[in-house]
Structure 1
Amino acid sequence: MYFHPFLAVGLLHAAVASGYANPGACSGTCNIHDPALIQRDDGTYYRFSTGNGISYASASAIEGPWTAVGAVLPDGSSIDNSGSGDPWAPDAQKVGDLYHVYYAVSKFGSQESAIGLATSETMEEGSWTDHGSIGVVSTTGKQYNAIDPNLLIDGSNNYMTFGSFWQDIFQVTLNADATSATSAATNVAFDPEGTHPVEGAYLYKYGDYYYLFYSWGECCGYDTSKPAEGQEYKIKVCRSSSPTGNFVDANGVACTEGGGTVVLESHDNVYGPGGQYVSSHFSAKYLTSTITNNLRGVFTDPDLGPVLYYHYVDTTIGYADGQKLFGWNAIDFSGGWPAV
């Protein structure tokens, strides 16, 4: 159990030197990688993360205290892949009456990858059914890597955005119950420079726009090989009036041509924030017409509104992957672009 001392002081202390707010408070089980957050109808929060068969925890509030529940896939995935014993990069959504956790099966740096699905009616430990691959797969030589899935439900349409390095971020449509792909993959974001370090996309609808958030830079191994300054993880965004393409940054540069506006980057004691998701915060009792995002239905929090959550390194603690922490911030869209 870990309680983060400098986060507990309050919700949004301004980091004056950087212009970014520090992460919100977290207590309990806070050392995680690639968080995915959802709230059950009874108000309980569930947070899924990479490792140990998709480990997950629950809490009565986003601040915690977070208590470990168990694993979604304690015996690994049924997908026939060399990474099946260690599924990772979860995305948690509610589709109809079922809770969906999408996951990736791969090895670090490999294109031999697939996206799978597990479902549950309750999210209780032991209640998960593994459905294996949803038909989004990649092999050596493909333009994309089939990892880091994210589902957007937009009316009657289901969009799965995914990808990591190679030609970066792609998208497919899924069937009505969001269990299998029904289209070919199309490219929605690409950085042509260097190693093309774009991954972990999250598509979010707010107002008239679809916002494509993603992680840019080097994610991992900071304790053994720290990247050059500015090359570590950061969170960027592009937007479009369509969920399927033509995303541009705040300067009008296409996201498929290296565009991307920084939302959150290293500041103060926060280093390498990424693996992000966005939620309009979570319980159906807070249904409004203001937030038109349909990530888990149309949800918002009357106090916080949309929330950006991610993992990061606290430089006062350590840079190892196992020391990464759960971070979150309320985000403001009033200027047309998300601001932390």
Structure 2
Amino acid sequence: MAARKPAAPLSETAFTLLVQGVLDYGIFMLDPYGYIVSWNAGAERIKGYRAGDILGQHFSVFYPPEDQASGKPQWELETAVAEGRLEDEGWRVRKDGSRFWANVVITALWDEKGVLQGFGKVTRDMSERRAAQHALTERRRLFDHLVRAQETERRRIAWDVHDDSIQAMVAVGMRLELLADQVPETQSAELRRLDASVREAITRLRSLTFRLHPPGLDRHGLVEGLASHLDDVVGTAWGMPYSFYHRLDREPAPETAVTIFRIVQEALLNVHKHARAGRVDVVMRSCDGGITTRVVDDGTGAPRTRDGSRDHFGVIEMRERAETAGGWWSLRARPGTGTTVEFWVPSPQPETDTADAVP
């Protein structure tokens, strides 16, 4: 097979046409003092100046008044000379006076003798990306607020049930037990059956308070809280064999931890109620800037409602929790081979600084 002939180098004219025709990037040159000596179509689109309007002007015209006053344009040129290049993100100004968020790279250009000939400047309009980041941040804040509000309400309900309803039913049970010892045997048996019903209801209410606000999650974090839940509920209360594998880069934020815990909790409850499974396995690992979790059982397959769909309340709740957090959720099942609930939620790094405010 004949060797491929190397492509001919791009001519200076073709390269100029390429630069001039780029629309997504403003590409232009400055002389050694910062005055504009070339201008491409992308720069015109981004900044609003035609070449005839801007050639010969100083590039500081693109900077907001506060940056001009602080000497930022000159500092950027000096930094590019000292370090070879400079990259910056910040506000820039269009011809009509409007501001946009830009990514800027300034590169010092030297001739073969080491004499500074000027600067190459590449500008990219990042306004849409920054707006999307702000929208995502705001959505995350609203989601965190919602999770905190939900958990606060769950905690209040759990306390109310424990301190009021359960205590009242315990008192009723004690009265029934005392009465059973004081009445004839024919009535005593009925009272003891009522007492047994009350005790069973108390057990169910205590289980409800545990599900509403499981202990350990607040104090020990996601891994220990989930491990404790699996041991207490799946292993001890249900008597079901299970495994729990986890590999996390770091402990997630409390709101993320609660979201994952609640989805796993609902998935496990579905396994217990519907799957007729012999065991369940939970896997949780960091992945793609978030946490992927799988709950796998060996039961009969996904539960279906009377109309044949899988979208009963628990499934809807799991999906909505994951999607509200900005993630995804899926359910895979085949009759006789068990069910896999898998989901991913983002786990962003804690914010260390705040973005510039829009003027």
TM-score, normalised to structure 2, is 0.25
**Greater RCO, 1 or 2 (C-alpha within 8 Å, sep 6+):** 1
Q: Larger strand proportion, structure 1 or 2?
A: 1
TM-score, normalised to structure 1, is 0.26
Q: Larger helix proportion, structure 1 or 2?
A: 2
